[in-house]
């Protein structure tokens, strides 16, 4: 079959959607997920098992903002400056702390075994454990290399499942064998392991995966996990473990930071040897790398492949969410002012209003990545059916103060996310069948993991060098340490590393996890937990801030329409048609920016919104993340069926007492 299909899901979906399967693989697996041992007797059947696990882990991962294997929700993107909207976990009017509240926070842990299977973490772990044991027992006729690579994928998947369990719950029971459900078997009453024990198991699995996996796969299997990917994931896990959320001695003991650095450098060496690295040498290359679909990209350490096929496999939901109504999309992805103002200037320096930056002319002299991350009125924003399309999204009001929107783009920000948008995407089906792959882990992130480890160790020259690699690739000059200036101490270096992650990895599902592991909402903490990172790093706590929007609004009132209840003509339609659109690929880019600056100054103001971006009951609201939310408690069902498990510190247990499980070691 020649149609592009996500190879993570390919065989499983082909089976589900119509292949005749004599072994009845489609039926619900009985005996709590065990399969007939004949599955290990042929490579084809073993592949079905492996691909079904990929499917169970990664189905639904069709937006770069989605996180948590097996779940893939984009909810956490609303908890940072990247995306506006007051959700329950940041709502100052809502507070969760009792066992009855936890279902409002997460139900990720899973449920007890029942007559039918559910796709939850411990079900996935059970299927992995079964395969690891049985492929050698019942698959002895399979090629040894095949069996090794198959087990390597299993170890990798198990590590990723435990990593996400750790990020959500801290310590969890570690199960590495196939357990049978029983109410009397004391051996399966496993306690919550410490976070250190969970990390030890994860790194053990990733080391084993790296030992068994190939350096690269052939084209037909591109997208499967590799040796270098396992090593890079180990570096990510150890960086998380070294961070303050799990490490109360982060500022006084370098042991964990050194381990994270060593793992990062080893992964860098391996991946470079295997042909990976930063893609390209310009901001244009940086943008284009996201559009390399279903084929090797040297920047992609792990990638979720997606398809444009309308009936088989998964499509990306990203393109439709970015495109404005005027282009046939679902409505533009509005960038809060806090993100617009975040990006550096073209020399790498931070923007400072009134010094080197005008927040009204926000598009002038910015980091080259700015123009590939955002679009704005007057900017060229192409798609397949209109390669010269120009975005216009502004408001104009009549003398009665009634508002109207250009091109029916009713937007609450002057800038919109365009990162990972494809200029060749088609609006023939409202962009919903996009095939743009998702890079779950990029080489640039690995370099920034290394930079952060160096920073925490107080190695400022290497911190600058590794951030410099990322900045140099997009054309930021090396002057003044790539615009970073003088980093006075390790706290300034950590601050710089975290800042660069906000820019380079914006809208890639990484920001919440950085905020979480550094505990950046405030320096408040539940009893028994140490938290002082905002003060140490010189960062403003996120609590008490809000995501801000504005109308880009025509500065003059237009006559009231006649007859009433019609839309008056766009007052700028003729003028804007004469303006050359902004195109960062044009040789005249600087002149285009200058002309657009004049156009904005002559015609627009930034006006307050009728309803703020962050509002609760239509009233402006401010972020208020409670300190017990960093690590979730266990639900009533989990504790009632497993009464030997401790509740998490900061959460109530079934008896009404306060939890005792401490995740910060």
pLDDT tens per residue across span 482-494: 999 999 999 999 9
In 3D space, the residue among 30, 154, 572, 548 whose CA is nearest the CA of residue 339 turns out to be 548
Q: Model-level pTM?
A: 0.94
pLDDT at 72 over 80: yes
In this prediction, residue 68 has a pLDDT band, given cuts at 50, 70 and 90, of very high
The dihedral region occupied by 177, where left means phi > 0, alpha psi between -120 and 50, and beta the remainder, is: beta
Backbone angles phi, psi at 368, to 5 degrees: -55, -25
Beta bridge partners of 334: 416
Q: What is the mean pLDDT of the chain?
A: 92
For 419-474, how does the pLDDT look when each residue is reduced to its tens digit (9 = 90+)?
Answer: 999 999 999 988 988 889 999 999 999 999 999 999 999 999 999 999 999 999 99
pLDDT at 361: 98
Catalogue all structural domains in the chain, each as residue range(s) with its CATH number. Answer: 10-60+95-213 (1.25.40.890), 318-436+550-608 (no CATH), 443-537 (no CATH)
What is the spatial distance between Cα 646 and Cα 167, in angstroms, rounded to a whole number? 17
Structure tokens at 564: 């009433």
**CB contact at 8 A, 621 and 86:** yes
Mean pLDDT score, 324-333: 96
pLDDT at 28 over 80: no
In this prediction, residue 344 has a pLDDT band, given cuts at 50, 70 and 90, of very high
What is the spatial distance between Cα 639 and Cα 173, in angstroms, rounded to a whole number? 13
Window from 7-21, 87-101, 386-400, 539-553 with minimum mean pLDDT:
7-21
pLDDT at 118: 86
**CB contact at 8 A, 223 and 292:** no
DSSP-based three-state secondary structure for 648: strand
pLDDT at 27: 34
Cα-trace Rg, the chain: 26
pLDDT at 497: 98
Backbone angles phi, psi at 556, to 5 degrees: -110, 145
For 120-163, how does the pLDDT look when each residue is reduced to its tens digit (9 = 90+)?
Answer: 999 999 999 999 999 999 999 999 999 999 999 999 999 999 99
For 353, what's the count of Cα atoms within 13 Å in the CB-facing half-sphere?
9
Backbone angles phi, psi at 625, to 5 degrees: -90, 125
**CB contact at 8 A, 131 and 212:** no
CA 608: distance to chain centroid? Answer: 30
pLDDT at 389 over 70: yes
pLDDT at 631: 97
Structure tokens at 150: 């198959």
């Amino acid at each position: 079959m020649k149609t592009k299909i996500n190879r993570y899901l390919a065989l499983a979906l082909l089976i589900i959607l119509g292949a005749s399967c004599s072994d009845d693989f489609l039926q619900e697996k009985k005996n709590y997920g065990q399969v007939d041992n004949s599955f290990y007797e042929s490579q084809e059947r073993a592949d079905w098992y492996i691909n079904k696990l990929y499917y169970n882990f990664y189905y639904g991962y069709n937006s770069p903002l989605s996180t948590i294997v097996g779940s893939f929700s984009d909810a956490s993107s609303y908890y940072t400056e990247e995306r506006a909207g007051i959700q329950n976990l940041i709502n100052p009017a809502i507070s969760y702390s009792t066992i009855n509240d936890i279902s409002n926070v997460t139900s990720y842990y899973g449920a007890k075994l029942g007559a039918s299977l559910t796709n939850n973490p411990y079900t996935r772990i059970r299927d992995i454990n079964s395969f690891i044991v049985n492929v050698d027992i019942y698959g002895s006729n399979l090629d040894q290399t095949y069996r090794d690579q198959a087990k390597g994928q299993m170890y990798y998947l198990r590590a990723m499942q435990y990593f996400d369990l750790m990020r959500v719950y801290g310590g969890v029971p570690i199960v590495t064998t196939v357990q049978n459900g029983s109410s009397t078997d004391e051996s399966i009453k496993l306690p919550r392991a410490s976070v250190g024990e969970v990390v030890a198991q994860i790194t053990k699995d990733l080391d084993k995966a790296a030992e068994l996996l190939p350096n690269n796969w052939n084209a037909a299997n591109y997208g499967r996990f590799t040796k270098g990917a396992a090593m890079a994931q180990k570096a990510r896990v150890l960086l998380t473990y070294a961070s303050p959320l799990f490490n109360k001695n982060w500022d006084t003991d370098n042991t964990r930071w050194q381990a994270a650095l060593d793992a990062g450098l080893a992964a860098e060496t391996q991946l470079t040897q295997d042909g990976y690295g930063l893609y390209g040498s310009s901001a244009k290359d940086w943008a284009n790398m996201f559009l390399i679909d279903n084929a090797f990209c040297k920047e992609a350490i792990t990638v979720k492949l997606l398809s444009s096929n309308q009936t088989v496999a998964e499509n990306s939901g990203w393109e439709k969410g970015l495109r404005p109504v005027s282009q046939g999309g679902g409505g533009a992805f509005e960038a809060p002012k806090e993100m617009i103002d975040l990006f550096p200037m073209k020399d790498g320096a931070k923007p400072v209003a009134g010094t080197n930056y005008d927040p009204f002319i926000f598009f002038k002299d910015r980091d080259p990545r700015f123009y590939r991350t955002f679009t704005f009125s007057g900017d060229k924003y192409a798609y397949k059916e209109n390669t010269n399309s120009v975005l216009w999204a502004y408001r104009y009001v009549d003398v009665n103060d009634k508002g109207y929107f250009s091109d029916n783009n009713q937007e609450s920000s002057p800038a919109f996310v365009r990162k990972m948008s494809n200029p060749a995407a088609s609006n023939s089906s409202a962009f919903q069948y996009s095939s743009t792959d998702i890079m779950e882990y990029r080489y640039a992130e690995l370099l920034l993991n290394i930079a952060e480890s160096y920073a925490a160790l107080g190695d400022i020259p290497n911190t600058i060098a590794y951030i410099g690699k990322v900045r140099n690739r997009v054309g930021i000059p090396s002057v003044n340490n790539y615009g970073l200036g003088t980093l006075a101490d390790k706290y300034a270096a950590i601050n710089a590393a975290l800042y660069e992650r906000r820019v380079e990895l914006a809208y890639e599902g990484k920001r919440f996890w950085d905020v979480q592991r550094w505990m950046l909402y405030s320096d408040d903490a539940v009893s028994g937990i140490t938290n002082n990172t905002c003060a140490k790093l010189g960062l403003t706590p996120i609590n008490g801030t809000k995501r801000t929007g504005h109308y880009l609004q025509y500065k003059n009132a237009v006559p009231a329409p006649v007859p009433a209840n019609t839309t008056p003509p766009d007052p700028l339609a003729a003028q804007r048609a004469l303006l050359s659109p902004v195109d960062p690929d044009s040789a005249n880019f600087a002149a285009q920016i200058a002309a657009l600056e004049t156009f904005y100054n002559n015609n627009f103001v930034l006006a307050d919104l009728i309803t703020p971006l962050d509002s609760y009951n239509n009233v402006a609201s401010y972020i208020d993340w409670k300190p017990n939310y960093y690590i979730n408690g266990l639900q009533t069902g989990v504790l009632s069926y497993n009464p030997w498990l401790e509740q998490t510190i900061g959460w109530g247990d079934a008896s009404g007492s306060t939890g005792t499980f401490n995740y910060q070691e």
